[in-house]
Chain A
Amino acid sequence: DAGVIQSPRHEVTEMGQEVTLRCKPISGHNSLFWYRQTMMRGLELLIYFNNNVPIDDSGMPEDRFSAKMPNASFSTLKIQPSEPRDSAVYFCASRAGRAGQGAFGPGTRLTVT
């Protein structure tokens, strides 16, 4: 089991550029979560999918953020245009079933200058 895979691990970009973060959940897990972690706000849930369908995107900060899950093995989180305040570590997590804990990926550290 390779665990949750995220890419890239680090991303440095300039303000105004488009950023795309990628996630491959654990095979067989039917729920996928995108989190953002900062020192000030801690770990925040942005959006989660169940069986590839977005269930709750109330944590997405604004329209600049969008997420897709075209199939059970791939999801993207896109920020367009990016701003310095988007700098954070973005985690993807996946889980089997409707409740319980999930496994986190290694995260993508995003720096927007």
Chain B
Amino acid sequence: QKEVEQNSGPLSVPEGAIASLNCTYSDRVSQSFFWYRQYSGKSPELIMSIYSNGDKEDGRFTAQLNKASQYVSLLIRDSQPSDSATYLCAVNYRGYQKVTFGTGTKLQVIP
């Protein structure tokens, strides 16, 4: 079983809708969770980080963490065509400096 799992997609949503991206991880002693956005041909850029159970909102983005279920999600409200990208989930395990990435979910926002 992979440490961090994501559905590869593509996930297609119409412009203005809510996009929901999901990620599961395999270890309960994980500490920090991140969502990166990667446009085609570009490097990953951090868009959200979350460290405790519950929701964290930043503009149109909301990260949700449920450590009991080993589940983290990213909601994008009012999706725009410019949100079309691959979204990478990443987990930082306690005691380790390195961050483990999922393989990413490709999001397509249809105008």
A100: chain B residues within 8 A (beta carbon): 32, 49, 92
> For the complex, is A71 an interface residue (Cβ under 8 Å from B)?
no
Assess the A98–B97 pair: CB atoms within 8 A.
yes
CB distance from A38 to the nearest CB of B (A): 10
- A48-B98, A99-B92, A100-B49 are known contacts. Are A42 and B32 too (CB-CB below 8 A)? no
A10 to B49, CA, bound (A): 31
A101 to B101, CA, bound (A): 12
Per-residue interface assignment for chain A, residues 92 to 109, with 1 indicating a CB less than 8 Å from any chain B CB and 0 otherwise: 000000111111111100
- A99-B32, A101-B34, A101-B49 are known contacts. Are A45 and B43 too (CB-CB below 8 A)? no
A91: chain B residues within 8 A (beta carbon): 43-44
B46: chain A residues within 8 A (beta carbon): 101, 103
Closest to A35 in B: B101
> For the complex, is B73 an interface residue (Cβ under 8 Å from A)?
no
Most buried by A among B31, B32, B97, B101: B97
> For the complex, is B63 an interface residue (Cβ under 8 Å from A)?
no
Q: Name A40-55 residues within 8 Å CB distance of B.
A: 41-45, 48, 50, 55
Interface residues of B (CB under 8 A from A): 31-32, 34, 42-46, 49, 88, 92, 96-104
Interface residues of A (CB under 8 A from B): 31, 33, 41-45, 48, 50, 55-56, 91, 98-107
